Amino acid sequence: MKELRLYLNGRIVAEREALISPFDRGFLWGDGVYEITPCFDGRLYRLKDHLDRLSRSLRYVRIDPGMAISRLEEITLDLLEQNLPDLESGSVYRVGHWITRGMEAESGRACDAGPATILIYFRKANLEALARVVREGVRLTIVPTRRVPPQCLETRAKVTSKMNQILAELDADASERVSLMLDVEGNVAENATANFFLVRDDKLWTPPARNVLEGITRKSVFEIAERLGIACRETTMTRYDLAQAQEWFLSSSLSCAVPVREVDGLSPLGPVPGPVTRRIMNAFVEETGFDFFRMPNR
């Protein structure tokens, strides 16, 4: 695999030349925010939406990146142009935007840290793994680790402190499943890295934004559903509602829509993928220009 270039604190360099201090607050405390924008066969998908959310997260955690978001967009497009000859045809890449509060100050106080550290990179996704989950779907398990409530840390901010979701992922790994997190009141929240949808009475249901990350792909599902004439509602849901569902699927940036085959041994009432999920998946193929159904599965 060819070495790609990345942007780090004002310079575009080869990956092997990129150095970050161990005293950066991102490393010490997870003090930062991030975004991952998908790049499908050399085309960035909804970059502006991702950068707009990055801006909201920065404002929430009070990190000044030292440049306008429009400048970050320019740098990203320039980096894409430089990397484009080395991107593998027909592949999917993660385009990461990581911004931390920067170097730890002698005082140890967050307000004295800085300037901010800014990293933008391209990393190739595992196409075979993506193809497998799109074709076969995933099996979920409701994990004991609950989603941190917004009263403690705003769920809408995409912060680098991911231990809550990592523990949920490890909970699910123990049973060779994928996580489904509940909130502290026992309502369905989200997967460790994706939003959750179900289909009931041919309508889409998803947990309210107050309890989950406001996913960019989640937003795309709303827009696609409106175009297709599929009713979509944000609503609190429980295990009971899971049991009544015709279909389930996850939405995330790289795979867009992934059917769910099972939740703790329970199957949906309809086929997998169901007709609504299939329509959403087909719409993403059209919208992104990337055919998820033709990905290699060696």
Domains and CATH numbers, the chain: 5-125 (3.30.470.10), 131-294 (3.20.10.10)
**CA angle at residue 288 from 284 to 289, to 5 degrees?**
110
Read off the pLDDT band of 294 (50, 70, 90).
confident
User: 148 versus 296: which is more confidently predicted?
Assistant: 148
pLDDT tens digits, residue range 140-179?
999 999 999 999 999 999 999 999 999 999 999 999 999 9
- For the cut 70, the answer to whether the pLDDT of residue 276 exceeds it is yes
One-letter amino acid at 179 equals S
Look up residue 209 and give its two tokens: 């934004």
The proportion of the chain whose per-residue pLDDT surpasses 90, expressed as a percent, equals 96
pLDDT at residue 295, as a whole number: 75
- Residue 296 clears pLDDT 80, i.e. is over it: no
Q: Which 8-state DSSP code applies to residue 111?
A: G
Q: Is the pLDDT of residue 298 over 60?
A: no
The span from the CA of 50 to the CA of 45, in Å, is: 9
pLDDT digits (tens, 9 = 90+) for 164-222: 999 999 999 999 999 999 999 999 999 999 999 999 999 999 999 988 999 999 999 99
How many CB atoms are located within 10 Å of the residue 218 CB?
22
| pLDDT for residue 223 is more than 80 | yes
Q: What is the pLDDT of residues 77-124, one digit of tens each?
A: 999 999 999 999 999 999 999 999 999 999 999 999 999 999 999 999
Q: Is the separation of the CB atoms in 205 and 233 below 8 Å?
A: yes
pLDDT tops 70 at residue 1 = no
Q: Write the DSSP assignment of 94-109 as a string of letters.
A: EEEEEEE--BPPTT--
Query: In the predicted model, what is the mean pLDDT of the chain?
Result: 96
Q: Convert the pLDDT of each residue in 128-141 to its tens digit.
A: 999 999 999 999 99
With a cut of 90, say whether residue 233 has pLDDT above it. Answer: yes
pTM of the model: 0.94
Q: What is the pLDDT of residue 162?
A: 95
Instruction: Give the 3-state secondary structure of residue 26.
Output: helix
